[in-house]
Structure 1
Amino acid sequence: MGRVTTEPSAYHRRMAEQKRSAIIDAATGLFLDSGYDGTSLARIAEAAGVSRATLFKQFPTKAALFDAIVTEYWKVEGEGGLDLRPGDLRAGLTAVGRRYVALLTRPRMVALFRIVIAEAPRFPELGQTQFKRGKMPYFTSVRRYLEAEHEAGTVRLDDPELATTQFLGMIADYVFWPRMLLVDWSPDEASMARAVDEAVLTIEARYATSSARPA
């Protein structure tokens, strides 16, 4: 007799993932249009084209659903995430900066921030989720990379958190934050790449040791 398995087939896993993506997309749109408080899980299920049972099985509460939205939107693509080897500061920072741009310019990332800003006074847990599940994991990965560069002798850092804040802030202040107020703010790829390059050069000028500076 063949072995009986309870593991879902590749087809069922693919269908479950498609439904999960549909739920997250529908919830993001409804939260933005109607507010977090004004959107029910039942309405999200209808908009996503799934049964209530399917939605409740994956996300029993709106808080669990919002947690999943934030985690999904801040997920770093590619194997290893920001697992960069220290030794080439300019190359490493450039890779980090480009990935940050890719995150910040994802479709509906601005919408996610607008939801949090609009609803945080009544639902402060949304801001905490965005901070803890979204920005902080990425921020921590960048800080650890800079700490590794410090250990490798390519930079001299007394305050790795400050250096991380400076680097990511220079990029976000051009690539992302104007989008929150200016609906037509849409810099092209070359402009965003230049913003990353300038941020890299600024951090390099401030923190790189003489041995790490290009000849």
Structure 2
Amino acid sequence: MPGASSFHQQVAADKRAAILTAATALFGEQGYGRTSLAQIATAAQVSKATLFKQFPTKSHVFDAIVDEVWGRSTEPTAPTDPADPRTGLRALGTEYAELLSRPGMAGLFRLVIAEAPSFPELGRRQFDLGKLPFFDEVCRYFQAAAAAGSLHVQDPTMATTQMLGMISNFVLWPRMFLIDWAPDGESVAGAVEEAVLTVLARYGVPDRPASD
């Protein structure tokens, strides 16, 4: 019956959410290495069998947390026409700032940094599943803008690193040291705009003089 199927799907989704919430809390409180799947199951109030069915290993739980924190809509948030780099870069920069401001993002970074000496694979998974897909999207935009002649970019990877670095240096990294760092929307928008203007100053194509 369709109704029964929907009910079971919702139950499974609720249990998955409970597991990820419990795991995130435990990882933050006692560390990834000292947290067991059994502890996660107990904290989430689910059976071990239920947890193992969805997450066979602890690394699967971590990957799901990364997906949850970095999860993005498949629909573009704003126009990214390569012929209009100011609008396109602003849209991408705004989306990146919103991603970095999500609940759980700072905690995820703290966890990865704290556990890196013992579990370096966590940093790789966080990068590959989280940041890299968005980084590649911005890199492709720089390539498209260069092909369209609206930006003069010889190294799209470096341009992407510079732009995203300016934004994360204001939105995210202070939160690693200042728990109460919470810039308002206007300040974040201003940081994004300054990053865009800096990129345009470096890679923008000067207006050609009008022909006679």
Query: Is the pair's TM-score, using the shorter chain for normalization, greater than 0.5?
Result: yes
Equivalent residue, structure 2, for 1:77: 73
Alignment partner of 1:169 is 2:179:
no
Equivalent residue letter for 1:206: R
Q: Counterpart in 2 of 1:180?
A: 176
Contact (CA 8 Å) 1:70, 1:130: kept in 2 or not? yes
Q: In 2, Cα distance between the equivalents of 1:64 and 1:188?
A: 34
What secondary structure sits across from 1:182 in the alignment? Answer: coil
- DSSP 3-state at the match of 2:111: helix
Matched AA of 2:36: S
Q: Is contact 2:166–2:195 with CA below 8 Å preserved after alignment?
A: yes
Deviations 1:131-186 (A, max 9, x none): 11111111111101111111111111110000000000000001100000011211
SS in 2 for 1:132: helix
User: What's 2:43 paired with?
Assistant: 47
Letter in 1 for 2:179: V
CA apart distance, 1:83 = 8.5
Q: Which amino acid aligns with 1:139?
A: F
Q: Does 1:33 align with 2:9?
A: no
Give the secondary-structure state (helix, strand or coil) at the position aligned to 2:32.
coil
Task: Determine if contact 2:80/2:87 at 8 Å carries over to the other structure.
Answer: no
CA contact (8 A) 1:93 1:200 kept: yes
Q: Percent identity?
A: 55
Counterpart among 66, 88, 94 of residue 90 in structure 2: 94
Shift of 1:14: 2.7
Q: CA deviation at 1:48?
A: 1.7
Name structure 2 gaps, 5 residues minimum: none
1:44-63 CA deviation, whole Å, 9 max, x = no partner? 11222222111111101001
Between the two proteins, the alignment pairs up a number of residues equal to 207
Q: Give the conservation status (yes or no) of the 8 Å contact 1:89–1:154.
A: yes
CA offset at residue 80 of structure 1? Answer: 4.6
What is residue 111 of structure 2 aligned with on the other side? 115
Q: Which piece of structure 1 moves more, 185-194 or 73-82?
A: 73-82
Residue 81 of structure 1, CA deviation: 7.1
* Contact 1:150/1:157 (<8 A) preserved: yes
Q: Which one is further off, 172-181 or 10-19?
A: 10-19
Q: Is the 8 A contact 2:89 2:196 kept in 1?
A: yes
- Residue 158 of structure 1 is matched in structure 2 by 154
> Counterpart of 1:117 in 2: which secondary structure?
helix
CA distance in 2, matches of 1:201, 1:10: 49
Amino acid at match of 2:21: D
Q: Is the 2:77–2:95 Cα contact (8 Å) retained in structure 1?
A: no
Contact 1:149 1:155 in 2 (8 A): yes
Residues 1:62 and 2:68 aligned together: no
Q: TM-score, normalised by structure 2?
A: 0.90
Between 1:72-81 and 1:135-144, the stretch displaced more is 72-81
